[in-house]
Structure 1
Amino acid sequence: MSIEQQLRDDLTAAIKARDTARANCIRMVNTKVMERRTAKGFRGEVDDALYLDVIGQYVKSLQKAIDQFRAAGDKGAQNAAELQAEVDYLAKYLPQPMSEDELRAAVREAIAAVGATDAKMAGRVVGAVMKAHKGRVDAADVKRIAEEELGG
């Protein structure tokens, strides 16, 4: 079942269960996908890759908002909890992130494939890992590990 169909089914179930928070979360994802589809210069199909990209970006923006609400203390605690519930719900649609050990192994493979010898070539390593493991790794983590492995 495609992510689009799964979201449609989940939206129907959320509406029937009167779960407005979950329904609004799904509607927001659908809206962001529609914005992307109607954006000038969009070429391609609406497939799982598009949904994964949109959900990933949305989750990342929610994480930033959660951090800001938590920094506000008690005033933002309720909002942070609501956003965290959205992140937890959307996590089931995203691929599982790589563990630290898996990421180190992927970085070592990329270093060998690219032929990197010093920290100046970390950008190429990051690019290779990001391309090979799209959606499962964070660029900042890849860069940190690449620099550690290359002695930078």
Structure 2
Amino acid sequence: MSIHDELAAELKDAMKAKDKNRLDVIRQIESEVSRARSEPGFDGKIDDTLYRAVIVSYVKKMEKAHEEFLGYGEKGAEAAAKLGFEIDYLGRWLPKMLDEGKTREVVAIAIKELRADDPKQAGRVIGHIMKNGPVGMDGALVSKIVREALGGQ
């Protein structure tokens, strides 16, 4: 079952159960997918890859907002709880992140392929990995490892 189909089924269940939190997060994801479809360069394929990319982007934004609301203490507690629910709920559709060992392997291969040996080439290597590498790469970890490997901390 595709992510789109799963979300459609979840939406129906949430409507029947009158679960406002689930309704809100599912509708927000559908809205984000619609926005992604209308952006220039969209290739017209609405598949799990698109949904995963949208969910990853949305969860990253919500994690930042969640931390900010937690910083507000009691005033932000309700909003932080709602965002925490959204992050947990969408977690099942997030790709599994690669561990540091696998990430180091991918970085080593990319550096060899691109024949990079200068810290000034770090951006090129990182861009190549994030664009062509496996799903589930942590950008911050990739950046750290590439800079270590090229000697440009």
The AA in structure 1 aligned to 2:102 is: E
Change (3 A) 1:95 1:118: same
Q: Distance in 2 between matches of 1:32 and 1:86?
A: 14
Kindly tell me the number of residue pairs found equivalent between the two proteins: 152
* TM-score normalised by the chain length of structure 1: 0.88
User: Equivalent residue for 1:76?
Assistant: 76
- Following the alignment from structure 1 to structure 2, what is the Cα–Cα distance between the partners of residues 38 and 123? 28
Show the counterpart of 1:128: 128
Listed as ranges, the matches of 1:98-137 within 5 Å are: 98-133=98-133, 135-137=135-137
Q: Return closer, same or farther for 1:23/1:42 CA change in 2, 3 Å cut-off.
A: same
Partners in 2 of 1:25 and 1:125 — Cα distance?
35
Q: Which residue of 2 aligns with 1:61?
A: 61
TM-score normalised over the length of structure 2: 0.88
Q: Quick one: distance in 1 between partners of 2:127 and 2:16? A: 44
In structure 1, the gaps of 5 or more residues are none
**More deviation in 4-13 or 128-137?**
128-137
Give the alignment of 1:1-152 within 5 angstroms: 1-39=1-39, 42-133=42-133, 135-152=135-152
User: How big is each residue's C-alpha offset from its partner over 1:58-107, in whole Å with a ceiling of 9 and x where there is no partner?
Assistant: 11111111121122223212211220110111121121111122112211
Deviation at 1:40, TM superposition (A): 6.1
Give distance in 2, aligned partners of 1:17 and 1:99: 38
Residue range with higher mean Cα deviation, 55-64 or 37-46: 37-46
Structure 2 gaps of 5+ residues are none
Mapped to 1, the partners of 2:16 and 2:135 lie a distance apart of: 32
Q: Once superposed, what is the RMSD of the aligned Cα atoms?
A: 1.8
Whole-angstrom distance in 2 between the partners of 1:121 and 1:7: 41
Write out the 4+ residue segments of structure 1 that deviate beyond 6 Å after TM superposition: none
Contact 1:11 1:23 in 2 (8 A): yes
On the 8 A contact 1:56/1:135 being kept in 2, the answer is no
SS at match of 1:85: helix
Cα pair 1:53 1:135 within 8 Å, conserved: no
Give the Cα–Cα distance (whole angstroms) in 2 for the partners of residues 123 and 36 of structure 1. 25
Mapped contact 2:98–2:138 kept (Cα < 8 A): no
